[in-house]
Homo-oligomer: A and B are copies of this chain.
Amino acid sequence: MVRGPLTTATFFSPVQESLRLVERRMRAQSDGHHPDLAAALKHLLSSGGKRVRPAVALLTGGMLGADRDRLVTLSAAIELLHTATLVHDDLIDGALLRRGIPTLNARWTPASTVLAGDFIFARAAKLASETDSVEVMRLFAETLSTIVNGEITQMFSSQEITCRDDYYERIYAKTASMFVLATTAAAVLSPVDEDVIEALRTFGYEIGMAFQVVDDVLDFTGEQATVGKPVASDLRQGLITLPTIIYMESHPDDPDVAYLKDGSYYNETRLNRLIPAIRESGAIEEALYAARQFVDRGLEALAELALPLTAERQALEDLASYIVSRHR
């Protein structure tokens, strides 16, 4: 099922023109507002996001025959919602760089960063309303609730996550929920039945889960020079992800595992033992296998619909496969 690495261009090509319209639509959202908001939006949109979520929405809707204008509006809404959550996330985490570019909070005060995020939420909601679909609005608002609830849960959990179910719940809230929004809302805007919408919801869920698992794997395998942050930066910050969970499952007697379960203080010596141990344990491969299973289930849901093999459907399948084969 998994093909070799694909350049993004392959599956972006059927929606390249639409993606340009999405970009323009997003940038226009500061028109008529304070110039500093325009500058902030421009900075955020220039910082090299891959636009995977809008591409998923555009391809899904394109495959199912939705109106292009409404899809462009929806896709712009989704990417701005994603952008707004990143603005508040980076503020909360005190992150100074994202994709090698200064975050908004690195340049602005916390107060103005909060407001900039709120403004982008507002514009995302405005765009969502312009799809003229109450159901899209509902999905949109529900997704934001899910994402924020996930972050609050993570913040207030006294116990570290050390089992797969909790991990999957967390990455659903954090990442897959937005992919579900992209595919489901695009299907809602298409002339299709409820079962098609349901299948696309599944597809979005599965590829979204795979996307985050692979992201978490890349945090372990990426070289510092490429990724721009130290290897296993998640674990170093106390965030336990799938490779670590798998290692913990298979090494219950490792004293460093007990330390992780303890969720106690940062211990450099233990981390410097644990990180290479995880990397060499086969946990990476097992996590990637889990990601592949997610993608396969997604592709299966799509295949069951027996849709004509349009360029969009092919691109969507390629994109799903790319998610597990990609490098950062």
| A residues lining the B interface (CB < 8 Å) | 33-34, 36-37, 85, 88, 91-92, 110-112, 114-119, 121-123, 125-126, 128-130, 132-134, 137-138, 140-142, 144-145, 148-149, 151-153, 155-156
**Bound-complex Cα distance A207 to B149 (A):** 36
Asked if B129 and A134 sit within 8 Å, CB to CB, the answer is yes
Given A110-B110, A112-B155, are A137 and B148 also a contact pair (CB < 8 Å)?
A: no
List, in ascending order, chain B residues with CB within 8 A of A112's CB. Answer: 152, 155-156
**Bound-complex Cα distance A137 to B130 (A):** 9
A173 to chain B, nearest CB (A): 11
**Bound-complex Cα distance A137 to B136 (A):** 11
A286 to chain B, nearest CB (A): 30
Closest to A155 in B: B112
List, in ascending order, chain B residues with CB within 8 A of A33's CB. Answer: 145, 149, 152
Asked if B148 and A119 sit within 8 Å, CB to CB, the answer is yes
**Bound-complex Cα distance A111 to B89 (A):** 9
List, in ascending order, chain B residues with CB within 8 A of A138's CB. Answer: 126, 129-130
Beyond the given pairs A119-B152, A121-B121, A129-B141, 18 more chain A to chain B contacts, judged by CB atoms under 8 angstroms and listed by A's residue number, are A33-B152, A34-B156, A36-B152, A88-B115, A112-B156, A115-B148, A115-B151, A115-B152, A118-B144, A119-B148, A122-B141, A122-B144, A122-B145, A125-B144, A128-B137, A132-B134, A134-B137, A137-B137
**Bound-complex Cα distance A114 to B111 (A):** 10
Asked if A123 and B145 sit within 8 Å, CB to CB, the answer is yes
For the complex of A and B, 6 pairs with smallest distance between CB atoms? A125-B141, A126-B141, A122-B144, A129-B137, A92-B111, A122-B145
A299 to chain B, nearest CB (A): 31
Closest to A135 in B: B129
**Bound-complex Cα distance A138 to B73 (A):** 13
**Bound-complex Cα distance A121 to B140 (A):** 12
A163 to chain B, nearest CB (A): 18
Asked if B88 and A155 sit within 8 Å, CB to CB, the answer is no
Given A137-B137, A145-B126, A152-B36, are A92 and B121 also a contact pair (CB < 8 Å)?
A: no
